[in-house]
A and B are shown apart, each in its own frame.
Chain A
Amino acid sequence: MLFNSYEFIFLFLPFTFFTYFYLNKKRLTEASKGFLVFASLFFYSWWNIAYLPLILVSMLFNYTIGRQLTGKEKNDKQGTRKSLLTIGVLFNLGLLGYFKYADFFLINLNSLLHTDLDLLYLALPLAISFYTFQQIAYLVDSYRNETKEYDFLNYAVFVTFFPQLIAGPIVHHAEMMPQFAKARNKIVNYHNIALGMFIFSMGLFKKVAIADSFAIWATQGFDVADKLNMIEAWATSLSYTFQLYFDFSGYTDMAIGIALLFNIKLPINFNSPYKATSIQDFWRRWHITLSRFLRDYLYIPLGGNRRGEGRTYLNLFATFLLGGIWHGAGWTFVFWGALHGLAMVINRAWQKLGYRMHTLLAWFITFNFVNIAWVFFRAKDFDDAHKVLHGMFLGPLVLPVFLTPKLGFLAGTPIVEFGQWSQIFYNESLVLAWIFAGFIIVLGFKNSMEAREKFQPNLYYLFLTVLFFLSIFILYRKSEFIYFNF
C-alpha cells in the first residue's frame, strides 16, 4: 500500500486513526498499541505477505537479545555480553546479506573463479535495510546500557510503526519509545492533525506532482543513454537529481505528517540538501537519519577522528563506501559510495589546509559533484553511466535552429550542431522549464521543515494544504518510491 494511493488515503489511514484514538479514549492503551502494530503489519503485508514472518522473526530475535543485554548489565561478564551483541549484529547483517547481497556475491564469485553457481533470485523484502539498521542500533545501545527495559509491545510499535517502516526516517528507540509511552500523546491533538495534514499534503505534492514528472524524463533519458546529446544528457541527469530529492523527501514528509496525526514526531531527514556548499554540508542535509546512524554506529566505533588524520580519512572513506553498499547490491552503488567517501576526504583535507572558497563556487562544485555521482546511483551498470556522462561532457551540442543567425559561426566546430535539440523527450519544451522550476524550488523556497516551524492555523496555510492536497487528483501514475528499493 503506497502513501500515494486511494486505498491508503481514504481507507487505511482514516480507519487506523479513528480506531487507535477510539481505543485510547476507552483507556484501552495496550489494545491501542496492539492495534497499531497489527495495522502496521497489515500495511507491510499488503505488498507481499510472504515477508511478514521475516520481520516478525527479526523483531522477536532482536528483542530477546536486547533484553538479555539489558538484563545482564550488572552481573555478567563483559565477554558474554559482547558475544551476545556479536551474535545479534551478525544475525541482522546475515539476514540483510542473504536477502540483499547473496546474488551480487554469487555473480562476482562466478565471474572471479569462472564457476557456474546458481543464483538465488531472491526478491528483496521490503524495508529490510531500514528495520535492520534500527534494530542494530537498539542492540548496540542495549550493550552500552543506553536502553530501558521496554516490553515487547512497545518494541514492536517502535520497529513496525507504519509511517516510517518502509523507507524511514531511520528512527532511534530513544526518540520513539518515550513518545509512545507519553499519556498526552494518546489524545487527539488538533494542532498535530492540522500540521500533519499540511506536511502530508506537501509531501504528496512533491511526490505526485513534481517527482513523478521528473521521473518521466529521467527514465526516457536513461533508457536511450547511448543516443544522448549534451543538452539531453544534462537534462536527464538533472531530472533524476530532482526526481530523487522530491521523491524521497516527499515520502519523508508524508511519513512525518502521518506520524504527527498519531502525535508522534519523526526526526527530520532532509534540510534543503541541494543548497549545500560542501559535501560535508550535503550529508548533514541529505538523508540525515542515515548519516546519523552511519556516524554513531560505524564512523565513531571505527575510531572517528580520534586516531590521527590518516585514520580519520580512512574511516570517512570506509563509512561512505559501506553507505553506498547499503543502498544496493551493485558495483555502481559501491562506486557511488566511494566517490562520496573520496569527496569527504578531499573536503576534510581542504578544511585542514584552511583555504576558503567563494560560496557560489562552492555550491556549484558541490551540486555538480552530487549530480554527476547520482548518474552512477541511477544507472543499471557502468556502461550506462558512462554513456550518460559521455553525453554530458562529450556529446554533440545541438542548438535550436533559431539561434543560427547569431551563433551560426559555431556550426563548423566539431561538437556544435543546429537542429531539434531533443529527439528523445516527449514534450521536450517542458523539460527545461521543469528543471528551471526545480532549481527555483530547491534553492529559493523554504523546505518543509522550515515551513513546519512557521505553520499557523490561518487561511494561508489552509489554502496551501488544500492546494497541495489537490495532488490526489493526479494519482493515475501509481509510482512507487525510489527508496523502497533500498
Chain B
Amino acid sequence: MLAYKIYIKILFFILISLIISAIFYAYYFTKNYPLPITGRISFDAKITFIKEHIDRKKVDTIIVGSSIGLNNVQGTVLENASPKCQSVLNLSVYEATPTQIEQVLELTTVFPNLKRIIYSAQYSDFGYAGRLKDYDPAFIKAYLSDTLTLKKKISFYFHSCQNIFFCIQREWNWKDKYMQNNQFTYLGFDSTGSVPLHIYDKDIIMTRWEKPHFDKQSKQAFDALDRMSRKAKKENVDFIFVAQPYRGPLVKNFSHVQPVMQSFADQAKRIVTKNGGMFLNLHDQLHLSDNYFADRSHLNDQGSIIGTKAIGKFIDQTD
C-alpha cells in the first residue's frame, strides 16, 4: 500500500504522460492517416485525398453513391470516354445510403465549376435511410478550401485525441484491410478517387455472390433522391442517375429480385426525370455476364470499365 500523497503523484504522472503521448500520437496520425471526422473511413480518406490531390476548381463531374458508385464507376475511364468530363471526382462513400449521399452533396459548393453529378446505385442502396452522425459539412468545406480559423486548425490537428483507440485501430488495419485491392474495403483511390476492384476467382466471397439482397425499399431514400435531383436542377447542375447491373442468375432464380429491381428503376426514373435529370439503366442495357462481377452487385475492374464507358457515351449523347 502506498501513502496517499505518493499514490496521487504517481497517478497524475501517469495521466499526464498519457495525455502528452496522446497529443503527440494525434499529431502523427493526422499527418499520416485519414482523420476520423465523418464517421466513415472511406469518406475520411476521400476528404484527405481531395485536399492533397484534387484541384477543386477544375472538377466538372462528381460521381456519388455507395460502393456501387465507388467501385462500379472509374473516374479515369470516364475522363477518357467522354470529352465532356474533363475532370472527374468520385465522391462515393462505402455503404452510404441516399440520405447520406444527400449530406455528402452539401460539399458541392467547394467545386465552383461543377457541371454534372452522376449518382450510381442499385436497389440495395435504397433499403435504408440512415444519416451520417457527427458530420460537419461547414468544417469540411472550410478545411478543403483552406479557410479554417486558427482555433479550428488546432482542433483539426488534435481531433484524433477524442478517439485515440479508433485511430490506433485504423492505423493497425490500414495496410491489411484498406490497402488490398482484392477486398471490398479497398481504399486505394485512382487519380479521381475511384476504387476499381480486382476481385476474381478465389477472392470472390460466395455468400455475397450467391445470395441477393433483401427486397426492402425505403420511402425516405427515394425522398432524398427527389431532393437531391431538385437541388441539382436549381443549381443548374446535370443530375444523371445510373441503375447499375446486377448478377443475371440471381435476377432469374430469386423471385423477389426482378420486381424490386423494376420497382426501384421505375421510381428512380420517375423522380429524376420529373426534376429535369437523366436516367440510365445499365443493367438492362449491358446484360453483363458473371465474368464482370466481383459479387452480386459490385463489378470487377473489367466490368466497371465497360459500365463507365457506357456512362460516358450516354453523357456525350445527351448532354
Chain A residues with CB under 8 Å of B163's CB are 473-476
CB closest residue in chain B, given A10: B19
Q: Which of B18, B36, B161 has a CB less than 8 Å from the CB of A470? A: B18
A442-486: contact bitstring with B at CB < 8 Å (1 yes, 0 no)? Answer: 000000000000001111001001100110111111000000000
Chain B residues with CB under 8 Å of A477's CB are 134
Q: Which of A190, A191, A457 has the most CB of B within 10 A?
A: A457
Contact yes or no, B4 A473, CB < 8 A: no
Of the 9-residue stretches B5-13, B246-254, B297-305, which lies at the interface with chain A? B5-13
Contact yes or no, A473 B164, CB < 8 A: yes
CB closest residue in chain B, given A223: B130
Number of interface residues of A (CB under 8 A): 24
Chain A residues with CB under 8 Å of B110's CB are none
Q: Which of B7, B18, B214, B216 has a CB less than 8 Å from the CB of A194? A: B7
How many angstroms from the CA of A191 to the CA of B161 in the assembled complex?
Answer: 30
Q: Which of B8, B14, B18, B166 has the most CB of A within 10 A?
A: B8
Minimum CB–CB distance from B273 to chain A (whole Å) comes to 30
Minimum CB–CB distance from B170 to chain A (whole Å) comes to 13
Minimum CB–CB distance from B283 to chain A (whole Å) comes to 23
Contact yes or no, A475 B162, CB < 8 A: yes
A358-405, CB < 8 A from B = none
B1-42: contact bitstring with A at CB < 8 Å (1 yes, 0 no)? Answer: 111111110110011001100100000000000001000000
How many angstroms from the CA of A328 to the CA of B7 in the assembled complex?
Answer: 44
Q: Given contacts A190-B4, A457-B2, A466-B15, are A474 and B10 in contact (CB under 8 A)?
A: no
Minimum CB–CB distance from B295 to chain A (whole Å) comes to 16
B165 contacts the other chain (CB 8 A): yes
A260 contacts the other chain (CB 8 A): no
Minimum CB–CB distance from A118 to chain B (whole Å) comes to 30
A197 contacts the other chain (CB 8 A): yes
CB closest residue in chain B, given A466: B14
Contact yes or no, B8 A473, CB < 8 A: no
CB closest residue in chain B, given A457: B7
CB closest residue in chain A, given B7: A457
How many angstroms from the CA of A473 to the CA of B164 in the assembled complex?
Answer: 5
Contact yes or no, B10 A462, CB < 8 A: yes
A1-31: contact bitstring with B at CB < 8 Å (1 yes, 0 no)? Answer: 0000010000000000000000000000000
Minimum CB–CB distance from A78 to chain B (whole Å) comes to 52
Minimum CB–CB distance from B17 to chain A (whole Å) comes to 10
A193 contacts the other chain (CB 8 A): yes
Minimum CB–CB distance from B8 to chain A (whole Å) comes to 5
Chain A residues with CB under 8 Å of B8's CB are 190, 193-194, 197
Contact yes or no, A457 B162, CB < 8 A: no
Chain B residues with CB under 8 Å of A197's CB are 8, 11
Q: Given contacts A193-B8, A469-B15, A476-B36, are A423 and B214 in contact (CB under 8 A)?
A: yes
Chain A residues with CB under 8 Å of B134's CB are 476-477
Contact yes or no, B18 A466, CB < 8 A: yes
Minimum CB–CB distance from B250 to chain A (whole Å) comes to 16
CB closest residue in chain A, given B163: A476
Contact yes or no, B162 A476, CB < 8 A: yes
CB closest residue in chain B, given A465: B11
Contact yes or no, B11 A462, CB < 8 A: yes
Minimum CB–CB distance from A205 to chain B (whole Å) comes to 13
Chain A residues with CB under 8 Å of B6's CB are 457
Minimum CB–CB distance from A199 to chain B (whole Å) comes to 13
Minimum CB–CB distance from A92 to chain B (whole Å) comes to 38
Chain B residues with CB under 8 Å of A457's CB are 1-4, 6-7
Q: Which of A191, A423, A474 has a CB less than 8 Å from the CB of B165? A: A474
Contact yes or no, B165 A194, CB < 8 A: no
Minimum CB–CB distance from A430 to chain B (whole Å) comes to 14
Chain A residues with CB under 8 Å of B2's CB are 457-459, 462
Q: Write the residues of chain A forming the contact surface with B, with a CB cutoff of 8 angstroms.
A: 6, 190-191, 193-194, 197, 420, 423, 426, 456-459, 462, 465-466, 469-470, 472-477
What 5 A-B pairs have minimum CB-CB distances, sorted nearest first? A190-B4, A457-B7, A473-B164, A476-B162, A476-B163
Listed A/B pairs (27) with beta-carbon separation below 8 Å = A190-B4, A191-B4, A194-B7, A197-B8, A420-B214, A423-B216, A456-B1, A457-B2, A457-B3, A457-B6, A458-B1, A462-B11, A462-B14, A466-B15, A466-B18, A469-B15, A470-B18, A470-B165, A472-B19, A473-B22, A473-B164, A474-B162, A474-B163, A475-B163, A476-B36, A476-B163, A476-B166
Known: A423-B216, A426-B130, A457-B4; 13 extra A-B contacts, CB below 8 A, are A193-B4, A194-B8, A457-B3, A458-B7, A462-B2, A462-B7, A462-B11, A469-B18, A470-B165, A472-B19, A473-B163, A473-B165, A475-B162
Q: Write the residues of chain B forming the contact surface with A, with a CB cutoff of 8 angstroms.
A: 1-8, 10-11, 14-15, 18-19, 22, 36, 130, 134, 161-166, 214, 216
